[in-house]
Amino acid sequence: MAAVRLDEIVARFGGKLIGDGGRTIVQVASLERAGPEEISFLSHPKYRASLETTRAGAVILSPQAADACPSACIVCDAPYLYFAYVSRWLNPDRNNPPGIHPQAAVACQLPDSVSVGAGAVIGEGCVIGEGARIGPGCVIGEGATIGADSLLHAKVSVYPGCVIGRRVIIHAGAVIGADGFGFARKGDGSWFKIPQIGGIVIGDDVEIGANTTIDRGALDDTVIEDGVKLDNQIQVGHNVRIGAHSALAGCVGIAGSAKIGRRCTVGGGAVILGHISIADGVNISAGTLVAKSIARAGNYTGAVPFLEHAEWLKNFARLRHLDAMADKIRALEAQVARLADPGEMT
């Protein structure tokens, strides 16, 4: 995108401009690295020292930090979100030109606005929405649906019958609709595979990270509701349901039939066991093992067992002093023993 003026940014996104509205901006950057034609932001007080020395042409910040800014600034209540809007405006998505690459294999009718990359395979009976972009090497199974304006990066696999909504972004290597981990144990200890006949339904405005896997349902569908954001290398088991606008960080593992509420967050490496329910508005810290249902909103942290976050912090603070506490207990036990023994009193 061509350079924009600061007053144009404010006219588009709001906020209060302090400084030269005619200054041109060509890109976003961090406070430490930004130059005179770049805009940065300050959203956390711990970076205040970087603000004082920044060379940025402008900074997006809160009213409390405006007096310390050495350059032009845009004052707003949510600097990080405002920065995200500006960054998206200055860095629009790259639109692949419509058309089907000669090396793609397509067995269904596609709208003229769809882009299909080299080596992609789209099976019979698929429904691909207007403006969808199917990257190189993707495989879309028979009868799958991809909504309008969705983007599948290279080598995404969508199994037959899966339903993907509008404006969905799926990054390279993701697998949508593989069989869930369903087996029945036989009398001799071996395993008998249970057919996974459910599907997958993914809502609108979902983003799915690289190499993330979402298993199809055993009987009912696996459901990812609108606006969910999944990081890289997440495992979503069969019949899981993730509520709207929840966000899960990398390497989270969710076992089959777990239900996660709306507007939840799950930190990296957390594990959620199967057949449990998590209420709306729950925040689970990184590395937490969730072994039972969570009935109310809040912050939860820990492994064995997990606890409400504030309680876990209190207990962990005590855990750090266990050795000293053990020494005190042994000393008290010895003192009690001496008091209880009449021979010790003489």
How far apart CA 301 and CA 216 sit, in angstroms, is 29
Q: How far apart are CA 183 and CA 186, in angstroms?
A: 9
CB 238 within 8 Å of CB 218:
yes
Cross-sheet strand order for the sheet of 72-75? 16-18, 72-75, 58-61, 38-41, 27-28
CA-based angle 209:212:215, to the nearest 5?
Answer: 135
CA 120 to chain centroid, in Å, comes to 27
| Cis geometry, peptide bond prior to residue 305 (ω within 30 degrees of 0) | yes
For residue 105 the two structure tokens come to 């294999």
CA–CA separation, 240 and 278 (whole Å): 11
The Cα–Cα gap between 175 and 278 comes to 25
Cα 285 to Cα 129: distance, rounded to the nearest angstrom: 37
Is 101 known to be catalytic?
no
Between helices 79-90 and 6-13, what is the axis angle to 10°? 110
Q: Which of 153, 238, 245, 275 is catalytic?
A: 238
Residues with a known catalytic role:
238
